Structure 1
Amino acid sequence: MQDDKKNTRSFPPMRDWPYYWISRVNAQYALVLEQQLKPQGINLSRWRVLSSLYEYGSLGVSEIADFAILRLNTTTKVVQKMAAEGLVKTQVSASDARITQVSLTEEGRRQAVFARAVAQKILEASFSDVSKADRERLNKILDRVAMRLTAMSDSGPEPDDAG
């Protein structure tokens, strides 16, 4: 037991880990965004699908899952529900019958524009005292970290990188 206490003291406090702050910021952002979108019947999964389709146009379900950072089965369920509500239309891809292409309907586009406007206001308010240069720098740093983590998830961490 004494060895366990000694080992845990060698780790920095959680507040010194960037992932602590990334998780806190993401959780708070999701909470505020969901609170502001919920009255319009838009949850976070739906917001991510709407936003992906608004930005990229017609996408396959697996592409939406990738852009929206959702599991494929979750994305499929969200898309099916949105199709039943007339927010998206689906069709089999002309080039590959295994792919279901999804695009926004006019009502889906209206909801996407509304949701993106809400998200933009949250972004502006939460970064109001952060310079454009700092925001760009933060985005570049996070992009590099994300690429490194993607490479690690594809190949597994090297022994020295564990933890």
Structure 2
Amino acid sequence: MSVFTLQSGGKMRAMRRTSRRRTDVRPNIDAGDFKENWPFYWVSQINAAYENALERRLKHLGIDIASWRALMSLYDDGYLSVSEIAQHSAQKLNTTTKVVQRMVKDGLATTRVRPTDRRVTEVSLSEKGEALRRKAFEEVQIIYDFALTGQSQEDIDALNTELSQLHSRLKRL
């Protein structure tokens, strides 16, 4: 399995992980390079840069970040409850509820009662919503291609695995 290190100039390099996992390694806060050695610094920097790029690429389509996340959650899963959309899109339930209400009002989504549990309302993309999602995805694919230029599929898979495992551990806190 690969791990990634950030080299000078912002280039990521995949390195083979040794079989021994170290849990006692912590950045030295007195070393003067704390940020560069703190993974969560890079996660927040990447997230901010990604969201800025998303805003620029999607603005002309009338899509904000919250709507983008809901569109892609629905694309991947078809029918989801508002709570499930909130969970998949990493947004608060009240934000997601407002986004879904706006999407339904704009004809981008439809709702139905969940066949297996009539207490749950499910949301799905309409044809208009799917068309907008396709246009948005073309814009976002540009970000993906640019950001991951030079990375092999193996590197991308390893990065996704590492991030998924980190996410799983953090959710247990």
Q: Same fold (TM over 0.5)?
A: yes
Candidates 109, 129, 139, aligned match of 2:130:
109
As a proportion of its length, which structure holds more helix?
1
d(CA) in 2 for partners of 1:11, 1:65 = 38
- In structure 2, what residue type is equivalent to 1:143? S
Q: Percent identity of the aligned residues?
A: 41
**Corresponding residue for 2:107?**
86
Residue 150 of structure 2 aligns to a residue in which SS?
A: coil
Correspondence 1:1-150 to 2 at 5 A:
9=30, 13-150=34-171
The count of corresponding residues between Structure 1 and Structure 2 is: 146
d(CA) in 1 for partners of 2:29, 2:88 = 37
Q: Which moved more, 1:18-27 or 1:113-122?
A: 113-122
Residue 117 of structure 2 aligns to a residue in which SS?
A: coil
Deviations 1:47-79 (A, max 9, x none): 011111111101111111111111111111100
As a proportion of its length, which structure holds more strand?
2
Query: Which runs of 5 or more residues in structure 1 are unaligned?
Result: 1-6, 153-163
Runs of 4+ in 1 over 3 A off after TM superposition: none
Per-residue deviation at 1:88? 0.2
Q: TM-score, normalised by structure 1?
A: 0.84
Residue 124 of structure 2 aligns to a residue in which SS?
A: strand
